[in-house]
Amino acid sequence: MKSFLTHSLLCLTAVLGFGLTATASAANPAPVYSSQETANFKTLAKETLSALEADKKPEMIAKLTDLETDWDAQESKLKPKNAATWTALDKTLDKAISALRSSKTDLAKGKAALADFIKKLEQATKP
């Protein structure tokens, strides 16, 4: 019985430790993508942000849609390089999309999420 409890505790510790590691890497994406792989995403994200700041909603929505479409099209190429990095970026982009294209648009939240996406994209790009 004592051995079973010890084994169970070790397994639980390993699982919890893995969860913490995965979360930490998701918060700070690993630099796994080339600048060529991220260039269009950066451009589209910055253009979306500029349109948002200029109060050009149709242009902002169009650029955001282009960004989402391009991101989704590259998933099969980018995600296998580092799933945690890709997921962190994907979740951040999803926050921007939800905030900016929902029936209850939240411009501040969308702007913050886009800025965070750009920051994480820079972190995920190899020097």
Name the amino acid, one letter, at 28: N
Q: Is the pTM of this model over 0.85?
A: no
Q: What is the C-alpha separation between 70 and 64, in angstroms, rounded? A: 10
Q: Is the pLDDT of residue 117 over 50?
A: yes
Categorize the per-residue pLDDT at 11 as very low, low, confident or very high, splitting at 50, 70 and 90.
very low
Q: DSSP letter for 33, please.
A: B
Q: What is the mean pLDDT of residues 29-38?
A: 95
Q: Is the pLDDT of residue 108 over 50?
A: yes
Report which of 78, 74, 73 is spatially closest to residue 126, judged by C-alpha positions.
78
Position 16 scores a pLDDT of 37
Furthest-apart CA pair in the chain: how many Å?
67
Q: Is the pLDDT of residue 6 over 70?
A: no
